[in-house]
Amino acid sequence: MPVNSFEDEVFLTGIDSNVLKRIFSFARPHRKWIFFFLLIILVTTVTDAAMVYINKIMIDQAVIPGDLRKVIGFLELYGVMIVFQAFSVFGFIYLAGLISEKISFDLRQKMFDHLQTLSLSYYTVTPVGWIMSRVNSDSVRISDLISWGLIDSAFSTFNILIATVFMMIINWKLALVVVFFFPIMVYIGWQFRKRILKEYREVRRLNSKVTGAFIENISGVKVVKSFQREERNLKEFNQLSQPMFRSAYRAARWNALFLPSIQLISSIILAIIIWSSDWQVSGGLMTIGGIQAFVNYTLSMMWPVQDLARVYGELQQSIASGERIFSLLDTTPSIQDRDDAYEPEHFCGEIEFDHVNFFYDDGDRRNVLTDFSLKVNHGEMIALVGSTGGGKSTIVNLTARFYEPKSGEIRICGRDYREYTMESIQSRIGMVLQTPYLFSGTIRENLRYGRLDATNKEIEQAAVKVGADDFIRKFPNQYEEQVGEGGSLLSVGQKQLISLGRAVLADPEIFIMDEATSSVDTLTEHLIQVGMERMLEGRTSFVIAHRLSTIRRADRILLIEDGKIAEEGSHKELLRLRGKYYHLYTSQFREEKEQESSGTII
């Protein structure tokens, strides 16, 4: 079945108190306010129960004796309590809501901040979708638990306790009967909730698959049609949608059965009150108002039970959320500044790889670079060629210190680059990638990303230098044109030019260009070549390119194969060698020229 989804929901059935403790540590800064709203809730529940009790006294002492003035007195008190109640309700909803927003704000920010420190190796193994749900949904679950979950459970617990106290005051024997039934209610409530949760999880799991199936069916509709998969696809889809229906319905049925069962128990309590009323009332132990109050207390006890069962279910989910959040926050960046790292005053473009070994942690841990040594002089332009997977990008990644060597050393300006701060290295390296990434916003904002304090004039000069100014000026909003999410409103070639401009504006000592102009048309490439050449003069640069014109320009060409330098030298030297470079060059030459010609002629 064509389905794409990242199933990341792991469900726990137990409750881990350590995680819980850590979750509630997020509440610590707000503990004064939390204490305050718990207090308000306590007062509210007391008022609630007291109002029922006042009604009892009113019936017994005013309505039955027929004293209307006393009734008015009681109702005045009742009215005051209602107003008081309204203020309390406002207080705790507002407080809890604010705390909830604040905690989720803090959690999101904390995760985001932490994410910025994590190394690239983390991002290559962790799907973006996974991180997104941690930051977006799990944070809300935690903040909801601390605020609303706490309110609901406090409210329910207080409600039950205080109602019991009042019932005790009215008639302690009957109150004991109610208290006896209470655990039964909670048990049944929990049993139901467990089953409902189980089905809901299944529904959620299937739902993400159903959505995935829809997405594939829409994006792959051409294939579906040309391979005539309509009927089989529908049948396969039905294998998802029907189980989803079943689980959803089962959950609904448990839900529909839940309340009546609790209700039945309270009606049994009610019957017991009725049965006992004979000797209670005639014996003077219970008044009519008392019976009415008891009925009210018992009937209103169903809701807290329901809430408690629900909160318990949510608690489990929140703990799972908490664990995932902590797993993110506990990840330490694999590359960190040393404690004594410093920012060098003087920086040069002399780079040396000294017996470097490297492999990626997520793959099969085979060496990508083996005993790799290379010395690049200041101002030299190095072209890296060779087939995919040979190690070209790895060299570049190591130079930018996105990764560090597993053994051996990389020296910049004669010193192991781990002695410098990461920021000092990365702010001096300009990188332009084949799949350029722009941030949504205007073209100007994207260019400015290279140097935040650049003036508008400098930005436009950089654009002119890389040949982007022409097409930018053609947009209706020129430099203020929106680029869309990820730059989706621009062509790849345009994006490449803007990201090149961004790097030029940064004015780095070392330039790294990974297929940076592969999608730029030939004419534009010729145009910017002169400007770029002037730019690169006196700066060290690494260029990974397919275009021969770029390669030929390099001071030194390295043919990288299986993590080693297979051939090395200038263009002419390598051609004379009649080796791998020669082969690569000739076939590339034909391909390129053909494409060029088909571009201009056809």
Partner 1 sequence: MVKNSLFNLKIEEELPVLDYRLNRSGKRSRLSGILNTMTGFRLRFLFAVCMQVAATLCKTSVYLLLAWFIDTWLVGGDHSVPLFLVGFAFIGLSLVEGFSSFQANHQANYTAERVALRLRNNLYDQIQRLSFSYHDKVDTGDLIQRVTSDVDAVRRFFSEQAIGIGRIFFLYIINWVAIARIDLQLALTTMVIVPLIFVMALFFFSKISKSYEAYQVQDAQLSSLLQENLTGVRVVKAFARQDYEIEKYRKENEKKYKLGSKLILIESLFWPSTDMLCGMQIVISFYLGASSAIAGRITLGEFIAFQALLNWVIWPIRNMGRLIVQMSRSLVSFERVNTVLAEQQEELRQGEKAPEPFLSKQITFDNVSFSYDGKNKVLDEVSFTAEAGHTIALLGSTGSGKSSLLALIPRFYEYQSGSIQLDGMELNQIRKEDLRRNIGIVEQEPFLFSCTIAENIAYGVERDVNREEIMQAAKDAAIHESIMAFEKGYDTLVGERGVTLSGGQKQRVALARALLKNPRVLILDDATSSVDTDTEVEIRTALSRLMKHCTTFIIAHRIQSIMHADLILVMDKGKVIQSGTHDTLIRETGMYQRIFDIQTRIEANLEKEISDAG
**558 within 8 A of 385, measured Cβ to Cβ:** yes
Report residue 518 as tokens: 């592969």
Q: How far apart are CA 286 and CA 176, in angstroms?
A: 15
586 touches partner 1 by CB under 8 A: yes
Among 26, 37, 155, 237, binds partner 1 (CB under 8 A): 237
Among 10, 17, 128, 283, binds partner 1 (CB under 8 A): 128
- Least distance (Å) from partner 1 to the CB of residue 147? 10
**295 within 8 A of 273, measured Cβ to Cβ:** yes
Report residue 166 as tokens: 């009042």
**13 within 8 A of 190, measured Cβ to Cβ:** no
Among 291, 381, 490, 535, binds partner 1 (CB under 8 A): 291
26 touches partner 1 by CB under 8 A: no
Residues in 434-473 that interact with partner 1 by CB under 8 A? 437-440, 449-450, 452
Q: Binding segment for partner 1 among 90-98, 152-160, 345-353, 368-376 (CB under 8 A)?
A: 90-98
Which of 220, 344 has the CB closer to partner 1?
Answer: 220
**3-state DSSP helix/strand/coil percent for the chain, to nearest 5?**
65, 10, 25
Q: How far apart are CA 114 and CA 103, in angstroms?
A: 16
Distances 325 to 14, 119, 140, 322 between C-alpha atoms, Å: 18, 18, 11, 5
Residues in 143-202 that interact with partner 1 by CB under 8 A? none
CA 452 to chain centre: 27
283 touches partner 1 by CB under 8 A: no
Q: Which 3-state string (H, E, C) describes 4-54?
A: CCCCCCCCCCCCCHHHHHHHHHCCHHHHHHHHHHHHHHHHHHHHHHHHHHH
- Interface with partner 1 (CB under 8 A), residue total 153
**195 within 8 A of 247, measured Cβ to Cβ:** no
Residues in 373-402 that interact with partner 1 by CB under 8 A? 388, 400, 402
370 touches partner 1 by CB under 8 A: no
Which of 111, 369 has the CB closer to partner 1?
Answer: 111
Residues in 239-278 that interact with partner 1 by CB under 8 A? 241-242, 244-246, 248-250, 252-253, 255-257, 259-261, 263-264, 266-268, 270-272, 274-275, 277-278
Residues in 531-560 that interact with partner 1 by CB under 8 A? none
- Least distance (Å) from partner 1 to the CB of residue 491? 13
Report residue 561 as tokens: 């194969």
- Least distance (Å) from partner 1 to the CB of residue 270? 5
213 touches partner 1 by CB under 8 A: yes
Residues in 496-515 that interact with partner 1 by CB under 8 A? 499, 502, 506
Give the containing element (helix H, strand E) for 558: strand 556-561
- Least distance (Å) from partner 1 to the CB of residue 15? 28
Helix/strand number for the chain, H first, E second? 22, 10
- Least distance (Å) from partner 1 to the CB of residue 21? 26
